[in-house]
Copies of this chain bind each other. A is one copy, B any other.
């Protein structure tokens, strides 16, 4: 089976990320970086309907991706050795998330 697998995240406060799958420190640095780039804070944003983490979550989603397509060859995702696919949750109290998968191929 060869083709293309598309992952689509149906949310505006969580996103998809292909990143280092070995050192957990990368994920901690990643979260810290995005927290600094799109910080929480009273009065920082006009939109805060769902709390202080509401608008930062939208911004982090915009800065990353909600869709990633990965080629498939002989039934295997063609990820690099160090690549893992992550759901990047941006809310402090997340609910369940939905990812749609689409596969084209033969």
Contacts and interface: CB of A to CB of B under 8 A. Distances in A.
Interface in A1-57: 3-4, 6, 8-12, 17-20, 23, 25-26, 28-30, 33, 37-38, 45-47, 49, 55
Interface residues of A toward B: which range?
35 or more
For this chain, the copies found in one complex come to 3
Contact of A58 (B26, B49, B62, B65): B26
A23 B49 contact: yes
A64 B33 CA distance: 15
11 contacts: A4-B102, A6-B71, A10-B81, A12-B18, A12-B83, A19-B61, A25-B46, A26-B58, A33-B38, A67-B70, A69-B102
